[in-house]
Amino acid sequence: MGELAAASKVHVMVSYWWSRGDSLANYQLGQILTRAAGVDEADITDSQSIDRALRIAVADPAVLAELDQWWQMVETRRAGNTTRNPGLGLERSIRYLTDRLDAVTVTPEALGECRRQVAAVDQTITGAKDLPELAHPDAEMLDLLARYREARSRVLALA
């Protein structure tokens, strides 16, 4: 594989695995990119910042090799499971459910929307059950899951 093709593949794979939201792995990526891009700190929460830093980083063969190892390590750590960290969208889902359930009147349409949201979140959580975020949850994830459980229970109670 040519240098340009290798750099392109690593850029795409690192971007993809970054987007899965593995906090520990992304912290490590931030450290690599900060060193490589020559900036004070790469913003690992911003896709444009990651993309800019990656364009700079893959031009250096040593950093390219380190990034190639990084994405393979993340793929292994997550056992190839491509499910995003469920914690990334859980706050938004909880807010969506509670906003609709706290309305003066919960219409049948709103209840149907809530049921679909619960089904989607349940599927994401089930798909991520073996991932580090759920296998070894931190306090923030435990809080989000407890709040989701409450909102979910309210939806199911109205069924």
- pLDDT, tens only, 90-124: 999 999 999 999 988 999 999 999 999 999 999 99
Q: Alpha-carbon distance 48 to 19, whole Å?
A: 12
State pLDDT tens for residues 44-58.
888 898 998 899 899
pLDDT at 151 over 90: yes
Whether residue 37 has pLDDT greater than 70: no
pLDDT band at 152 (very low <50, low <70, confident <90, very high): very high
In sequence order, what are the residues at sequence separation of 6 or more whose Cβ sits closer than 8 angstroms to the Cβ of residue 86?
A: 121, 124, 125, 128, 133, 134
User: Which pLDDT tens digit goes with each residue over 117-136?
Assistant: 999 999 999 999 999 999 99
Burial of residue 109, with CB atoms counted within 10 A of its CB: 0-12 exposed, 13-18 middle, 19 or more buried: exposed
pLDDT of residue 44: 84
pTM of the full structure: 0.80
Cβ(22)–Cβ(78) below 8 Å: yes
pLDDT reading at 39 higher than 70: no
Q: What is the pLDDT of residue 38?
A: 65
Q: What is the pLDDT of residue 22?
A: 92
Mean pLDDT of the chain: 91
| CA 119 to centroid of chain Cα atoms | 19
Q: How sure is the predictor about 36, in pLDDT bands with cuts at 50, 70 and 90?
A: confident
**Cβ 23 vs Cβ 85: under 8 Å:** yes
Q: Quote the tokens at residue 3.
A: 């240098």
Name the helix (H) or strand (E) containing 98.
helix 87-101
